[in-house]
């Protein structure tokens, strides 16, 4: 029976004809934000290494991270962080076996998006608003 | 072959290695990172672009330095595990997969050491 089934099993999802849903989109965004932040973390460690080394080295790295390009990377990482944070809590709830019905999963996905936007805006105000 | 049951055919293959430990540790680091990311992020965001003196001042505080060190250790572990899953999912050629998995552990292990060393150096007075 097992051998007869091999090779006939469906190989889903067929991405070209797959209609995106909030659940599948947030799932892949979780992975993308995770990998993206890993790259940003390397820059942050580099910044700490430079701060512990010398004024000249620190000014070079800090200047890069606070240039428009650096702000773009770190600002994007901040957005990625808050998404991964709230969506991660969603995952932890599922791992505990909670809130897994279709309606609940779609609703928590929308909450995660709204929470991400609010937290990102609030942190940007914290950084640039001089609070 | 046809005499083997499905159960017998898969025994000893696949995830029956340390998958469970990986899964549990990924959740433990995730929970630990809820307070650690917040605790790390706020002093860090304020230090960016504030000048080296301000950075050395911020991380000469034992609390800020310890939170940063704990954050880096736990986050590098969490990243290693996350990247491992991505490699296992997308790299099917076994030799290349094993090479990348080793490189992944090596790279994030080294990043942890550099991060802990750097914060400690500042905390002890760089």
DSSP class per residue in B74-113: HHHHHHHHHHHHHHHHH--SHHHHHHHHHHHHHHHHHHHH
Q: What is the pLDDT of residue A15?
A: 75
What distance in Å separates the CA atoms of residue B106 and residue B17, rounded to the nearest whole number?
21
What distance in Å separates the CA atoms of residue B36 and residue B72, rounded to the nearest whole number?
9
Structural contact between residues B29 and B77, judged by C-beta atoms closer than 8 angstroms = yes
Do the Cβ atoms of A92 and B75 come within 8 Å?
A: no
Is B1 a domain residue?
no
Q: What is the pLDDT of residue B9?
A: 77
Give me the mean pLDDT over the A15-40 stretch: 92
Q: What is the pLDDT of residue B17?
A: 64
Q: What percent of chain A has pLDDT over 70?
A: 89
What distance in Å separates the CA atoms of residue A81 and residue A36, rounded to the nearest whole number?
9
Count of domains in chain B? 1
pLDDT above 50 (res A1): no
Write out pLDDT tens, residues A60-71. 999 999 999 999
Q: What is the pLDDT of residue B21?
A: 86
Structural contact between residues A99 and A93, judged by C-beta atoms closer than 8 angstroms = yes
Note whether A67 contacts B: Cβ–Cβ < 8 A: no
CATH code, domain with B104: 1.20.1300.10
Q: What is the pLDDT of residue A36?
A: 97
Q: Which residues on B lie below 8 Å from A81 (Cβ)?
A: 37, 41
Mean pLDDT in chain A?
91
Write out pLDDT tens, residues B73-93. 999 999 999 999 999 999 999
Q: What is the pLDDT of residue B123?
A: 97
What distance in Å separates the CA atoms of residue B61 and residue B64, rounded to the nearest whole number?
5
Q: Could you tell me the two tokens for B54? A: 């301000």
| For A4, nearest residue in chain B (alpha carbons) | B2
Q: What is the pLDDT of residue B94?
A: 92
Say which CATH architecture domain A21-128 belongs to.
Up-down Bundle (1.20)
Q: How many CA atoms lie within 13 A of B75 on its CB side?
A: 31
Q: What is the pLDDT of residue A16?
A: 76
pLDDT above 90 (res A19): no
Note whether A44 contacts B: Cβ–Cβ < 8 A: yes
Structural contact between residues A30 and A94, judged by C-beta atoms closer than 8 angstroms = no
To test the contact with chain A by mutation, choose from B10, B41, B44 the residue with the greatest count of A C-beta atoms within 10 A, namely B41
Expressed as residue numbers, the domain containing B87 is 18-123
Q: What is the pLDDT of residue A129?
A: 81
Note whether B9 contacts A: Cβ–Cβ < 8 A: yes
Write out pLDDT tens, residues A99-124. 999 999 999 999 999 999 999 999 99
Do the Cβ atoms of B86 and A35 come within 8 Å?
A: yes
Is B111 a domain residue?
yes
Write out pLDDT tens, residues B7-54. 777 776 765 567 778 899 999 999 999 999 999 999 999 999 899 999
Q: Higher pLDDT residue, A77 or A20?
A: A77
Is B7 a domain residue?
no
**Phi, psi at B5, each rounded to 5°:** -80, 165
How does residue A130 score in pLDDT terms, banded at 50, 70 and 90?
A: low
């Amino acid at each position: 029976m097992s051998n007869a089934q091999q090779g006939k099993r469906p190989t889903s999802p067929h991405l070209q004809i797959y209609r995106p849903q909030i659940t599948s989109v947030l799932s892949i965004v979780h992975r993308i934000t995770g990998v993206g932040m890993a790259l940003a973390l390397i820059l942050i460690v580099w910044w700490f290494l430079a701060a512990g080394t010398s004024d000249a080295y620190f000014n070079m790295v800090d200047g890069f991270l606070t240039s428009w390009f650096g702000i773009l990377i770190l600002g994007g990482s901040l957005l990625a962080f808050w998404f991964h944070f709230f969506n991660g809590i969603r995952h932890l709830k599922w791992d505990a076996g909670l809130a897994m019905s279709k309606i609940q999963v779609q609703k928590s996905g929308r909450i995660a998006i709204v929470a991400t936007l609010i937290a990102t805006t609030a942190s940007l105000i914290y950084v640039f608003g001089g609070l | 072959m046809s005499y083997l049951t499905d159960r017998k055919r898969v025994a000893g293959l696949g995830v029956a290695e340390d998958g469970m430990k990986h899964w549990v540790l990924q959740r433990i680091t995730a929970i630990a990172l809820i307070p650690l990311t917040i605790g790390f992020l706020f002093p860090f965001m304020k230090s960016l672009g504030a000048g080296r003196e301000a950075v050395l001042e911020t991380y000469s505080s034992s609390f800020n330095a310890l939170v940063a060190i704990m954050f880096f250790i736990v986050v590098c572990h969490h990243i290693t595990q996350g990247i491992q899953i991505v490699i296992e999912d997308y790299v099917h050629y076994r030799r290349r997969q094993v090479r990348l998995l080793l490189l992944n552990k090596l790279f994030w292990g080294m990043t942890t050491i550099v991060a802990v060393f750097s914060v400690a150096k500042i905390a002890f007075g760089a």
